[in-house]
Amino acid sequence: MTETKPAEAKQVAPGRMRRDALTPPAEFAGDAIVWAAWLYYEEGLTQEEIARTLGISRGSVVTMLQEARENGTVSISVATAHLRGVTLARAIMARFGIAECLVVPGDDGRLPDHERVGHAAAKLLSERLRPDDVLGVSWGRTVLAVSQAIPPKLLPGVSVVQITGSAIGTYRFSAEACASNIANRIGGRCIYLHAPGIVSSPEVKQMLMREPTLVEQFRIMSSCNRIIFGVGSVEASSTAFDTGFLSPEEGQPYRDRGAVAVLAGRFIDTAGCVVSGELDDRLIGMTIPDIAQIPERICVAAGHDKAAPIHALLTGGYVTVLVTDEATARQLLDLPERSGA
């Protein structure tokens, strides 16, 4: 669909769609015409059924399907890449039971994986944010790309919360930078976590966690209704270790116990279970059980080493919305199914 842009779809829809019409699911990139075409040509729904699904009149459905034919949306020669992404997204949603999945088509290496996925996730996040949201933000390459690509808009009632403590080695895409970028671009309030990500001993952590400032920051953190995060592998080349946030020596005991994924400094195995260890008593930030309680959990990740970590998070039920790319989606679906905890 190289010639079809979301803006073009909006030229058709505003005059015809009711004010209560539904927003297209993420996998259709916000394009109601593509959504209608998919339901009609791929899922075999009738025009009346599509009208009820989209919250519009049957006449509007007829117009949209006509537009889809005229602009090439349903032409295999130009629509293959988009429909392929939709097929993968729907397969992932069905297999893992998540609410939404957005699969970004490949671009033959013109942009790095994390930038393509970050840009797509930025659009998705911008469309979902509401004035009174409390948004938790992790850190990493892809989350930084999201924070830099969010379209400027005014949402002064939104609180953006840093969910992990600080680390000197993560300056390129630190938790502070990811959170502050998002807050600045939407005009929201940024809540920094004024503590190191890892302290020297459990006693130091216990002492810091009694500080009134941290008590208040964790209180706000507990009210998050959305969160956006990346996920890392346990390899030495992954972001968590490459940046110095974690050392290979600190990660080795977790690898020995089967960990395959790192989320906000915490470790998870292939069955989606949290892998505990000595480091947990020195980490300051949101825990995996804390994350699991947040209603909307958006995972943004792509790359040759991310399929197994994403699979672990999906298996554990820690993701409600996934944004990834086509190659990673295929790898993810090729991995064997595992039962959760």
H-helix segments, 261-323: 288-292, 307-316
Residue whose entry in the numeric block shows the structure tokens 């109601």: 32
Q: What pLDDT sits at residue 129?
A: 95
Last residue of a domain, one of 76, 94, 127: 76
Instruction: Tell me: do 72 and 119 sit in the same domain.
Output: no
Q: Please say if the pLDDT value at position 340 is more than 60.
A: no
Instruction: Tell me: do 181 and 250 sit in the same domain.
Output: yes
Whichever domain contains 111, its CATH number is 3.40.50.1360
Q: Distance between CA 272 and CA 338 in Å, rounded?
A: 9
H-helix segments, 72-128: 76-96, 113-128
The residue segments making up the domain with residue 32 are 6-76
For 61-97, write each residue's pLDDT tens digit.
999 988 888 887 765 444 556 667 888 999 999 999 9
Instruction: Tell me: do 17 and 67 sit in the same domain.
Output: yes
- pLDDT mean over 109-117: 86
In-domain check, residue 299: yes
Share of the chain above pLDDT 70, in %: 88
Q: What pLDDT sits at residue 132?
A: 93
In-domain check, residue 81: no
Q: Tell me which H or E stretch contains 191.
A: strand 189-191
Instruction: Tell me: do 24 and 140 sit in the same domain.
Output: no
Categorise residue 325: left if φ over 0, alpha if ψ from -120 to 50, beta otherwise: beta
Helix/strand/coil for 64:
helix
- pLDDT mean over 129-141: 94
Name the domain count of the chain.
2
Last residue of a domain, one of 76, 92, 114: 76
Q: What pLDDT sits at residue 3?
A: 36
Instruction: Lowest mean pLDDT of 1-15, 17-31, 165-179, 239-253, name the range.
Output: 1-15
Q: What pLDDT sits at residue 318?
A: 97
Q: What pLDDT sits at residue 4?
A: 37
Instruction: Tell me: do 46 and 169 sit in the same domain.
Output: no
Q: Kindly indicate the confidence band of residue 245, based on its pLDDT and cuts at 50, 70 and 90.
A: confident
| Neighbour tally for 83: CB within 10 Å | 19
| Neighbour tally for 111: CB within 10 Å | 14
In-domain check, residue 96: no
Q: Tell me which H or E stretch contains 249.
A: helix 248-256
The larger pLDDT score, comparing residue 168 to residue 65, is at 65
- pLDDT mean over 211-224: 96
Instruction: Tell me: do 114 and 72 sit in the same domain.
Output: no
The larger pLDDT score, comparing residue 171 to residue 260, is at 260
In-domain check, residue 311: yes
Structural contact between residues 137 and 162, judged by C-beta atoms closer than 8 angstroms:
yes
| Neighbour tally for 73: CB within 10 Å | 26
Instruction: Tell me: do 68 and 170 sit in the same domain.
Output: no
Q: Kindly indicate the confidence band of residue 5, based on its pLDDT and cuts at 50, 70 and 90.
A: very low
In-domain check, residue 82: no
> What are the backbone angles phi and psi of residue 95, rounded to the nearest 5°?
-70, -40
> What are the backbone angles phi and psi of residue 322, rounded to the nearest 5°?
-120, 135
Q: What pLDDT sits at residue 191?
A: 96
Instruction: Tell me: do 13 and 122 sit in the same domain.
Output: no
Instruction: Tell me: do 210 and 320 sit in the same domain.
Output: yes
The larger pLDDT score, comparing residue 236 to residue 226, is at 226
> What are the backbone angles phi and psi of residue 203, rounded to the nearest 5°?
-65, -40
Structural contact between residues 191 and 160, judged by C-beta atoms closer than 8 angstroms:
yes
Instruction: Tell me: do 58 and 120 sit in the same domain.
Output: no
- pLDDT mean over 219-223: 96
Q: Kindly indicate the confidence band of residue 13, based on its pLDDT and cuts at 50, 70 and 90.
A: very low
Instruction: Tell me: do 169 and 20 sit in the same domain.
Output: no
In-domain check, residue 97: no
Q: Please say if the pLDDT value at position 7 is more than 70.
A: no
CA distances from 41 to 83, 92, 167, 325 (A): 11, 20, 51, 24
How would you class 47 by CB atoms within 10 Å of its CB: exposed for 0-12, middle for 13-18, buried for 19 or more? middle
For 288-331, write each residue's pLDDT tens digit.
999 999 999 999 999 989 999 999 999 999 999 999 999 999 99
Q: What pLDDT sits at residue 66?
A: 87
Q: Distance between CA 220 and CA 189 in Å, rounded?
A: 12
Selection from 302, 270, 329 nearest residue 92 by Cα: 329
Distance, first Cα to last Cα, the chain: 41
In-domain check, residue 61: yes
Structural contact between residues 12 and 67, judged by C-beta atoms closer than 8 angstroms:
yes
In-domain check, residue 132: yes
Q: What is the mean pLDDT of the chain?
A: 86
Instruction: Tell me: do 53 and 121 sit in the same domain.
Output: no
Tokens of 69: 């034919």
Q: What pLDDT sits at residue 240?
A: 77
Structural contact between residues 27 and 90, judged by C-beta atoms closer than 8 angstroms:
yes
For 191-214, write each residue's pLDDT tens digit.
999 999 999 999 999 999 999 999
Structural contact between residues 70 and 45, judged by C-beta atoms closer than 8 angstroms:
no
Whichever domain contains 46, its CATH number is 1.10.10.60
- pLDDT mean over 219-229: 97
Q: What pLDDT sits at residue 75?
A: 57
Q: Distance between CA 111 and CA 126 in Å, rounded?
A: 21
- pLDDT mean over 118-130: 93
The larger pLDDT score, comparing residue 104 to residue 81, is at 104
